[in-house]
Structure 1
Amino acid sequence: MRQKTVRRRSAAFLALLMAVAGLAFAVATPASAAPGDTGDDGEGGSKTLIQQLEAASKGYVDAQEALAKSKTRQTQLTAKVKELDTQLGPKQAAIDEIAAQAYRTGRLGPMSALLTADSASGFLDRAVTLETVAVKQQAVIKDLKQTRDQQEQAKLGIDATIRDQAKQVSVMAKRKAQAEGALKAANAGQDDPQSTDGGSSDTSGTFSGGSGTVDDPTSGGRITQRMLFAYNQARAAGFTHYTHCFREQNSGEHPKGRACDFAADKDGFGGVATGSSKTYGVNLANYFINNSSRLGVLYVIWFRRIWLPSSGWKSYSGGNGDPSSDHTNHVHLSVK
């Protein structure tokens, strides 16, 4: 009887120990920890690395936008040159005709008008005709000169845009090297391509806001107008799972209102995404990539990878090894 009582007490004690241990394990596990709650500031890298990536990507994106504008300007100027070319032909022909006529008949001047006039009224008529012809000739010559000047300015403009494009391409190359160098120094950044299936390009909206901040719909903080635009565009595209944007931390884009974390699970940050949750994250990451120029994307982090506009997917796992630090439970988006 006593032995049975001892065994029962021992079993109960062991069960209690297991329950306490299980509770302790449940508390300690970071599986459901939100980004930023595990000590790495939520972006998976050191403060120095994040600052380097931010500066490099912003410089690259700015140069990329300047390059696109320069190419558009070059196209416009080239079209203008062609238009002026078509105008020059007839105008030059009019000048040539005036010169040829003067050569054949002699230029009508005041003395010839006086000598050939048969009366005072005839002289006045010829004088008026002389003035009219002179005004028309001057107008034709002036018009031709203006067209040639416009053509020359357009050609100079094309040369300037080509020089500007070379400058922007150089800046982009330097910024790419800066980003990849920072990743390499952090023992990360190996090429790690990922499928871009899913998350199609979207042309339904263009950012036209300013540089100020607005209320963050996911927290009590503030985010930039561009970040709110990207957030709303993603939701309009069907990516409506739990999202959190503004967050106080020591580095990165969240405290600047330029980043959001998009959970792979529907209702919050869970463990490592699998199945439909992982598919959701892949599609969302690719949505941001496919619309990077329109949204002003600096970088996307997802499943131990970081996507940079300059370099594509690179390996990236500088966090604490938990799902939030490794970004295996959410997609991180930073915008300029």
Structure 2
Amino acid sequence: MTAPLRRWITPLVVALAALAIVAGPTPALAAPATPTPSGHEEDDDPPLITKAIESANRQYVQAKAKLVKSQQRQRQRAEEVRAAQRQLDALRPQVSAIAAQSYRTGRIGAMAVLLESRSPDSFVQRAAGLDELNLVNGQKLAEINAAKTRAEQAKLALDAEVREQQRLTNAMAREKAATEKALKLVGGLDFTGGLVSATSRVAAIGPGRTADGDWKAESCSENDPTTSGCITPRTLHAYKEVKKAGFNRFVGCYRSGGPWEHPKGRACDWSLQKSGFASWHNNDMRMYGNNVAAFLIRNADRLGIYYVIWNRQIWFPATGWKSYSGPSNHTDHVHMSLL
């Protein structure tokens, strides 16, 4: 074969090779990196639980909005893929015809087209036409293949983004549910008025807890630091832990008489003021009582809490908060009883 003929046939081979490339696999993109939430400087005092709920809900809404936008972009990229495929389908018959001719006649096909020329001018025109056709087809195939590749890569990236946003939305939903559960644990919004810290200090485990989580019976063997009476080792431990948590207003534990835990050395009353008892009548007193109760309940398993009474409500580990009515409505102190 002469050099000029080889030069005219080469674009045809390139075009057919480009067609094979279109049908080949598209390289996948790596999934976007997981976004890292911005950090928050810790305050001296823990935020109110209502602030934690608001933050969790706000992050949930933001993640959901990002998911919707991501899904919209994904639909746009999917339409780009379909448009590229339609263009490819429109071009395929032309390429198929060239491929079929090459299959039937072999490499002589293009040569035969050129040798049918009856004059030098006709030969040059046919050669130029064949070269132009192959060049156009090759350019179209390359253009369609590039567009299809870009669209598919964009779709893969957005699929990964949608999955990540869905994961983030689910995480925010779990965080919201956990925060609402935490609010319920301390009595709910109506009961606390939202005046309760989102977290409490973690107490040290009290004495007498067995390996299976039960608590050994204890006698009233320790001097009560609040009276001249006695309390159990577990009650003394709980008393010290509440003090460590910063609750240093008036408290009384042992009290003689009555059928309940005070004469057994298994109870303490945490007042809302520095001396004596008075029902709460401002936010400071209410929040103090809420936070004492929250500390005891959040650490119930570590301290061996039997029940807590506060502000006309009683809490048991097995039942949660229930309405309470008794000799005292407990609006002036938080009562704790130990197992």
TM-score by length of 1: 0.39
Pick 1 or 2: higher relative contact order, CA cutoff 8 A, min separation 6. 1
Task: Point out the structure with max Rg over C-alpha.
Answer: 2
